[in-house]
Structures are given as C-alpha cells and as structure tokens.
Amino acid sequence: MPQVTLTVNGKNSTVEVEGRTLLVELLREKLRLTGTHVGCDTSQCGACVVHVDGESVKACTLLAVQVDGCQVLTIEGLAAADGTLHPMQEAFREYHALQCGFCTPGMVMSAIDLVHKHPEGMSEREIREGLEGNLCRCTGYHNIVKAIAAAQDVMHGKRSELARAAE
C-alpha cells in the first residue's frame, strides 16, 4: 500500500493509504480530524475545503497520494495553542455567520484563502462571488458575507479587533 508523509496542522504524519483514498478520508478516518465535512459527492458544496500548501482545495476531490510531502491546514489547526480563535473564526462567531454549522469549516477555510488572495480588500460583491464553491443551506449567506468583510480588515491590519456585532 502506498505511504504518504504530510504535515497536518504543523504535525508530521506518515500514513498508509490506498491509491483511491481521498484526502478527506485520510483526514477524517485515519487522523480523526472530523472538522472537515463531506456534504456532496459532486465536488460542489465546499464543506470539505482545507488548505494545501496555503491554498484552498476541496479535500474530497484530491487523492491522499497527491498531497505527499505537502503542508495541510484544517479547521482544527486555525486557533492558537492557547485557544485564541483565528480572526475569521472570531468573526463568524461575532456576526452569527452559522446556524447548523455544517458548512462552516469549509466556509472559514475558503474565506481565509480569499482574503489572502485579495490583499487590496474585497467588496461585498467580490466576497459573494468568491464563495461560489461553498453552499450553505441555512443562513442565506448575509451574515457570512458580513463576517468575512469584518475579518479581512483585521487580517489586513486595518482594525485591531472586531466591532461587537452591531447589526
């Protein structure tokens, strides 16, 4: 059986997999990191989004063998060791950007890549377009968009902390 060696949330692992094992199966079933969800089998919902070498990907549409030697970041690896949330997580909490929470890990991971890819800042419309690959069946997206708009200012150093949810 093929072996893959990868770094997940800063920890090195070597895991035996099958050729067909998906990255999301490696994360959930072998490493027991169940924060990464599976919401479809058509590569469309984005519940499974993680970062590979700093970019967002659908972990259900990537083989474990394809990430041999890569750095993987999942929702479990975002908060600091002392439990301080990442600004994007904090913003999702502050702006009530989730209801059932199923889409949330993927939304947060996508949103962080979006903010990194737009150092100039995104308009509301750009945020909505940037979330094309993430479906949410609960929130109607409004609060997700607000949370990302607030988090990008913190991530770009434009404000030091999130305003308490005004709206």
Partner 1 sequence: MYDFDYHKPSSVADAVKLLSADPDARAISGGQTLLPALKHRLNRPTYLVDLSGIAELKGVKREGDKVTVGALTRHIEVQNSPEVKSAIPALAHMAAVIGDIQVRNRGTIGGSVANNDPAADYPSAVLGLGATVVTDKRRIAADDFFQGMFTTALEPGELLTAIEFPIPEKAGYAKMRNPASRYVMVGVFVAKTKGGVRVVVNGAGPGVFRQTEMEQALSANWSPDAVAGIKQASEGLNSDIHGSAEYRAHLVTVMAKRAVADAG
Ligand X SMILES: Cc1cc2nc3c(=O)[nH]c(=O)nc-3n(C[C@H](O)[C@H](O)[C@H](O)COP(=O)(O)OP(=O)(O)OC[C@H]3O[C@@H](n4cnc5c(N)ncnc54)[C@H](O)[C@@H]3O)c2cc1C
* Piece of 16-24, 76-84, 89-97, 150-158 that binds partner 1 (CB under 8 A): 16-24
**Distance (Å, rounded) from C-alpha 67 to C-alpha 4?**
8
Residue among 78, 101, 80 at smallest CA distance from 88: 78
Structure tokens at 29: 């079933």
Nearer to partner 1, 13 or 44 (CB): 44
Is residue 38 involved in binding ligand X (CB under 6 A)? no
Residue among 92, 74, 103 at smallest CA distance from 152: 92
CB of 80 to partner 1, least distance (A): 26
Sheet with 3-8, strands from edge to edge, namely 11-16, 3-8, 71-73, 49-52, 55-58
Nearer to ligand FES, 30 or 156 (CB): 30
The C-alpha torsion from 105 through 131 and 97 to 47, rounded to 10°, is -30
Is residue 103 involved in binding ligand FES (CB under 6 A)? yes
Q: How many CA atoms lie within 13 A of 75 on its CB side?
A: 27
Nearer to partner 1, 29 or 132 (CB): 132
Is residue 78 involved in binding ligand FES (CB under 6 A)? no
Is residue 84 involved in binding ligand X (CB under 6 A)? no
- Interacting residue ranges for ligand FES, rule: CB under 6 A: 38-40, 43-48, 58, 60, 98-103, 136-139
- Interacting residue ranges for partner 1, rule: CB under 8 A: 2, 18-20, 22, 41-44, 46, 49, 55-58, 61-63, 65-66, 110, 113-114, 117, 130, 132-134
